[in-house]
Amino acid sequence: MRKDWFVLHGGYEFGSRDYSGLEIERSEDASFVTPGDPANIYAAPSSSLCAGGVVCNLRFDQAPRHVNKAFALAQLTPAGHWSFDLSYIYDKSNFQDSAFGLQFARYTSFTAEADYTPSEKWSVYGFYTWEGNSDFLYGRQSGSTVSVLPLDDWTSSVDDKVNSIGAGATISIVPSKWSLNLFARWQDVDGNNDFFAPDGGAPASGRVSVGGVKDIPNYDDTTLTTVSAELKYRLQRWGLALGGWYERYRVDDSGTEGLSNYIPNQFFLNAANGSYRAVWGYVRASYTW
């Protein structure tokens, strides 16, 4: 839909993925130099877990998938100096044909942007974005052999909420010669991972925390603050720029802070990453021909 001051775009997609002739043991064997009998619930033959030879334990990258996507974009220019953009995205993948593993993953976002340009000398803009990520995983804890006990089942429900706010300005100090760009952004990620496992099962007894499975309220909680500025000078074909930015990153994530929520013997690559504060500065020269 389109008018002189209003433009609206939208769309919807549906997709489905399936397979035929799946040999799950062979696909898992390819991951090992010396493969043996499957000892993981996602690799075990389906007959050991499901009646009637139904494959019920596929990994999400192999399982049948059903996808629903939708988007909408609205552009508004109600006045000569103002412009507004609104966008919405929805993306969900379902894996309901698998009894174990990832059951669904969903992503939703909404963005609002505004731009004010009263003249060629200066302009300002700002934006706000909300994002939501969630997924649901169904698993079963096993030891050296695959467990067939429902008591060993467990679930993981992840819910991340992200808020981002930013603003910037472009100032023409001397037209075609001196200009200044300013930008600032703040982003906050609030993640939660809710676990459930029956009392008396392997997941509850195998945790570090006494009393069974523990939820993880600080699941990838981060805050990022960035402020930057750049002063540019243009002389015929030459260009010079002086700039810098300040960045502060704070993390409160159980995956990198203490590892107290996780079972023993897990390995985390570069898990010591933590909060930091940094300042950068630079000088740039360019020539155009």
2, 74, 232 from 86: Cα distances, Å: 15, 5, 31
Question: Using CA atoms, how far apart are residues 289 and 287, in angstroms rounded to an integer?
Answer: 7
pLDDT of residue 242: 96
pLDDT of residue 214: 76
Q: Summarize the confidence of residues 213-222 as an average pLDDT.
A: 82
Domains of the chain: 6-17+58-287 (2.40.170.20), 23-57 (no CATH)
Condensed to tens digits (0 to 9), the pLDDT of residues 240-271 reads 999 999 999 998 876 655 544 444 445 555 55
Condensed to tens digits (0 to 9), the pLDDT of residues 125-173 reads 999 999 999 999 988 877 666 777 888 888 899 999 999 999 999 999 9
pLDDT of residue 265: 45
Question: Using CA atoms, how far apart are residues 89 and 106, in angstroms rounded to an integer?
Answer: 11
Six-digit token string for 240: 């010079």
Between 106 and 268, name the one with better pLDDT.
Answer: 106
pLDDT of residue 268: 52
pLDDT of residue 200: 76
Does the pLDDT value for residue 30 go beyond 50? Answer: yes
Local structure of residue 241 (DSSP, 8 states): E
| Strands in the chain per DSSP E | 6-17, 65-76, 82-94, 101-116, 122-140, 153-174, 178-196, 221-235, 238-252, 276-287
Does the pLDDT value for residue 96 go beyond 60? Answer: yes
pLDDT of residue 209: 46
Between 41 and 67, name the one with better pLDDT.
Answer: 67
pLDDT of residue 23: 67
pTM comes to: 0.80
Does the pLDDT value for residue 7 go beyond 70? Answer: yes
